């Protein structure tokens, strides 16, 4: 843990505060970029998989097959094993069912559609039988992108305006103390010029009367950015987003 007088003091400057807020804003942009890449990649890959299965349905070779095992899951998916022959070589392969698959019976005949250049790539009239690995990657890309998109947007919105404000209006030195009011963390900041600010802190954690796992029951040295929407602490260093409750007075 960094202490007063350590390397943390080197960043406790207006320039250091602006750099930290800029880094937080950049984090939001990076999250948005990654989310965008994942979601765009998902839709492009989905289109490729879908078009590939449609092409296989149109152009693939057809051969009769027989269901040898059938397992339907409670959620509508499942698998079935199908025995069929290609070039007089008998094969048994597993086909994944989908929610629209009709009920099958062991011994029932189905039409197997296969790729002439890759006989291991098969489907039926009703089942696309997409490769499990591709489907898993698509789902992971979609879920991760959907999760990162609002997270990145929230980070960018929180810190983008605060960075511009701190950069354009600068920082002011002061002393801060914390109190809880209705579950909210309130910072009372006394600036060096004698004026005070009352701020609501959003990202400030308090454990056992200590800020962010490292701090205080008394006052802390701070720099207040712009109109008071961001605070940089001298011991940490730690930046918190704030909202002005009472303006400078």
pLDDT band at 207 (very low <50, low <70, confident <90, very high): very low
Q: What is the mean pLDDT of residues 230-241?
A: 78
Give the pLDDT confidence of 85-108 residue by residue, as tens digits: 998 889 999 999 988 888 899 999
Give the pLDDT confidence of 15-44 residue by residue, as tens digits: 888 988 999 899 999 999 999 999 999 999
Name residue, tokens 């629209």. 100
Residue 214 clears pLDDT 60, i.e. is over it:
no
pLDDT band at 11 (very low <50, low <70, confident <90, very high): low
Measured distance CA(234)–CA(12) in Å, rounded: 6
Select the more confidently predicted residue: 18 or 204.
18
pLDDT band at 184 (very low <50, low <70, confident <90, very high): confident
Residues 203 and 230 sit within 8 Å (Cβ to Cβ): no
Residues 200 and 133 sit within 8 Å (Cβ to Cβ): no
Task: Quote the pLDDT of residue 80.
Answer: 93
Listed in sequence order, the residues at least 6 apart from 143 whose beta carbon sits closer than 8 Å to its beta carbon are none
pTM of the model: 0.69
Measured distance CA(52)–CA(59) in Å, rounded: 10
């Amino acid at each position: 843990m960094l202490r007063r007088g350590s390397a943390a003091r080197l960043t406790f400057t207006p320039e250091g505060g602006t750099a930290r807020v800029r880094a937080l804003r950049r984090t939001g942009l990076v999250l948005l970029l990654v989310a965008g890449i994942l979601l765009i990649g998902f839709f492009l890959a989905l289109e490729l998989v879908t078009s590939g299965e449609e092409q296989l349905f149109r152009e693939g070779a057809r051969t009769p097959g027989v269901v040898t095992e059938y397992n339907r899951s409670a959620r509508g998916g499942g698998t079935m094993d199908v025995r069929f022959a290609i070039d007089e070589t008998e094969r048994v392969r597993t086909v994944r069912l989908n929610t629209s698959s009709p009920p099958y019976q062991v011994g029932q005949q189905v039409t197997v559609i296969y790729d002439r250049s890759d006989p291991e790539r098969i489907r039926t009239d009703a089942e696309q039988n997409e490769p499990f690995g591709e489907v898993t990657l698509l789902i992971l890309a979609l879920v991760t992108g959907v999760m990162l998109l609002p997270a990145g947007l929230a980070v960018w919105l929180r810190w983008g305006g605060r960075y511009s404000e701190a950069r354009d209006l600068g920082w002011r030195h002061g002393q801060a103390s914390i109190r809880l009011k209705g579950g909210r963390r309130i910072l009372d900041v006394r600036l060096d010029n004698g004026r005070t600010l009352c701020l609501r802190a959003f990202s400030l954690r308090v454990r056992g009367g200590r800020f962010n796992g490292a701090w205080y029951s008394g006052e802390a040295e701070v720099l207040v950015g712009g109109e008071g929407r961001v605070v940089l602490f001298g011991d940490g260093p730690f930046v918190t987003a704030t909202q002005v409750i009472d303006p400078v007075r």
